[in-house]
Amino acid sequence: MGKLFIFDLDDTLLHLWIDWNGAVKKEILESVDGLKLDPSEHIVYMAEKASNNPERKKIVDNIFWEYESVCLENSEYSIYAQSAGILRELRKRGHKVAIASNNTVRLIQGVVEKAGFEVDAIRGRDSVKKAKPSPEMIFSIMDELGFGREDVIFVGDSFTDVGAGKAAEVRTIIIKPGEIDLRKVLGI
């Protein structure tokens, strides 16, 4: 049995042209009545604080999807040239491949389909209670595909990915956006 490679999406496999720290953040601030949020805080932490109960989480998830659906519909993203080939090669070598992203499942599925990515599992912010840096997405994929920590490699680009990988106690590789390399992923 091979390994399980879990990839972040945005700025790891592709770049989404969404104004996360402008328009999305502003709409979240305007949508959560009675909750004091710091507008200077990173969008990930702000979204998690705003998602402090199931009703508010649904509101935040819908705000994400509102912007993501436009991005997907208008193909407002750039797929990194090597991404599809790396995913395909890993599967060809007998490994499982998954995506764990703080984006919504609908966006991930849409991009996967349009990009021709071959993946075995997908997790998004709307499929778990807590988004990354919580390890919940990683654990969920591990459970679904039947892998232990020692056989998981998580690849991402940000502090949320570092946090999720560390919390899940799995090997974590952090890359610069767009600089994914099969040799680094495989450790060769």
> Do 8 and 34 belong to one domain?
no
Segment 127-140 mean pLDDT: 97
Q: Do 107 and 55 reside in the same domain of the chain?
A: no
Shared-domain flag, residues 104 and 145: yes
Percent of the chain residues topping a pLDDT of 70: 99
Query: Distance between CA atoms of 113 and 110, rounded to whole angstroms?
Result: 5
b/e per residue, 55-89, with b = 16+ CB within 10 A? ebbebbbebbbebbeebbeeeebebbeebbebbeb
pLDDT band at 188 (very low <50, low <70, confident <90, very high): low
Residues 57-90: tens digit of each pLDDT = 999 999 999 999 999 999 999 999 999 999 999 9
162 and 135 inside one domain: yes
| Residue 92 confidence (pLDDT) above 60 | yes
Write out the residue range of the structural domain in which residue 69 sits. 20-73
pLDDT at 33: 76
Residues 9 and 63 in one domain: no
Quick one: DSSP state of residue 150?
G
Confidence at 187, pLDDT banded by 50, 70, 90: confident
Average pLDDT, integer, range 143-148? 98
Mean pLDDT, the chain, integer: 94
29 plus 107 within the same structural domain = no
User: Is the domain of 130 the same as that of 173?
Assistant: yes
